[in-house]
Amino acid sequence: MTALRLKNISKSFGPVEVLKNIDLTVEDGEFVVFVGPSGCGKSTLLRVIAGLEDASAGLVEIGGVDVTLTPPAKRGIAMVFQTYALYPHLTVRGNMALGLKQARRPKEIIEKRLKEASRMLSLEPYLDRRPSELSGGQRQRVAIGRAIMREPKLFLFDEPLSNLDAALRMNTRVEIAALHRNLAASMIYVTHDQTEAMTLADRIVVMRDGIVEQVGAPMDLYNNPDNQFVAGFLGAPSMNFINAGQHGFEQAAVLGIRPEHLKISDTGPLQGHVTHVERLGADTNVLVKLNTDEMLTLRLFGQYDFEIDAPIRLGYAMKDAFLFDENGHRVK
């Protein structure tokens, strides 16, 4: 069954059009991540799916049912926000069970789901604590647990890791991935962090300026971007772009090459000098200014030392290069 279908979704705030004719299908059990820069419309699209914003035009179907005009509480969705949205006067148990209590579900069902959700998220020791007694990661797990207990048709995550530090983000990301495997549930996850998108998604929806630039599996988008925007957005460090004509490629405007595909070569066509070195332990990023005044990042696996202003020549294999036209479209 199709978990979600969006057809020609548009959304305007006054004269400003923030979503433009978006079509998208999410299959049952699929983990789909919306990613893009701030202001691209990804959170607005999530809120339209949830019913927190009305679409200006288009159709929203959840589980095969048209919910375009259905209020949020009746859409069969559960949403997890970056701000946790927990009641400070309630315990973990009270926060997780509140939705089912308000829906007047039988006590035995509430207790059963509470036990399952708290076990899944390792929250058993904290059930009698209040949010103020929990860490940020624990609070987010409570918010996720509350969503699990509702057994929704569709889970919606709105940048749930933004308020966590780096270590907690990684740990919680692993927990969300494990949760998806265990529940086999349909999930839509919004983030501006391409690392979260690459590591969590079955499919990524890359957005810019209210439109969908490309949809696909993480490595498909990484290896076969349709355009310069997608190529530059996915990957850390991001893809290098230089003037194709200046480097012998008259059929294209821009040449793209990922930092890990550049190689130090005595006969390489790209000549310049080292301007900065980032020693990250497991790998080293070298910033290079070419003689054409263009900047490149070279990624080397391992630990290396370079003198600032030292001359350097770089090469690459053509099979690793990407060519784009003057409009940013891929030239194949």
Q: Domains of the chain by range and CATH?
A: 2-230 (3.40.50.300), 237-331 (2.40.50.140)
What 235-240 contacts at long range (C-beta under 8 Å, 24+ apart), as own/partner pairs, is 235/194, 235/259, 236/194, 236/195, 237/285, 237/297, 237/299, 238/297, 239/322, 240/295, 240/296, 240/297
CA 142 to chain centre: 21
Find the angle CA(71)-CA(77)-CA(78) to the nearest 5 degrees: 115
Say what the pLDDT of residue 135 is. Answer: 87
If we measure between CA atoms, which residue out of 162, 157, 135, 159 comes closest to residue 146?
157
Instruction: Give exposure, 65-79, as e/b (b: 16+ Cβ within 10 Å).
Output: eebbeeeeeebebbb
Say what the pLDDT of residue 140 is. Answer: 87
- pTM here is 0.91
Say what the pLDDT of residue 132 is. Answer: 92
Report d(CA 199, CA 60) in Å as an integer.
27
Q: Please enumerate in sequence order all residues whose Cβ is within 8 A of that of 210, keeping only pairs 6 or more positions apart, or say none.
A: 11, 17, 18, 19, 20, 40, 41
Q: Which amino acid is at 294?
A: E
Instruction: Give exposure, 101-127, as e/b (b: 16+ Cβ within 10 Å).
Output: eeeeeeeeebeebbeebbebbebeebb
Let me know if 41 is exposed, middle or buried by CB neighbors in 10 A (0-12, 13-18, 19+): buried
Residues in a beta bridge with 66: 61
User: Looking at residue 237, what DSSP letter applies?
Assistant: S
Q: Which amino acid is at 226?
A: D
Report d(CA 61, CA 258) in Å as an integer.
39
Say what the pLDDT of residue 227 is. Answer: 97
Q: Which residue has the tokens 């030392």?
A: 305
Say what the pLDDT of residue 167 is. Answer: 77
| Dihedral sign for Cα atoms in the order 179, 175, 178, 127 | negative
Report d(CA 251, CA 120) in Å as an integer.
55
Q: Which amino acid is at 280?
A: L
- How would you write the pLDDT of the chain (332 residues) with one tens digit per residue? 799 999 999 999 999 999 999 999 999 999 999 999 999 999 999 999 999 999 999 999 999 999 999 999 899 999 988 887 889 999 999 999 988 888 889 999 999 999 989 988 889 999 999 999 998 888 888 999 999 888 899 999 998 888 777 777 888 888 889 889 988 889 999 999 989 999 999 999 999 999 999 999 999 999 999 999 999 999 999 999 999 988 888 889 999 999 999 999 999 999 999 999 999 999 999 999 999 999 999 999 999 999 999 999 999 999 999 999 999 999 98
Helix axes 107-120, 136-149, angle to 10 degrees: 140
Let me know if 94 is exposed, middle or buried by CB neighbors in 10 A (0-12, 13-18, 19+): middle
Report d(CA 268, CA 290) in Å as an integer.
12
CA distances from 118 to 79, 83, 110, 130, 143 (A): 18, 20, 12, 15, 11
Report d(CA 92, CA 98) in Å as an integer.
10
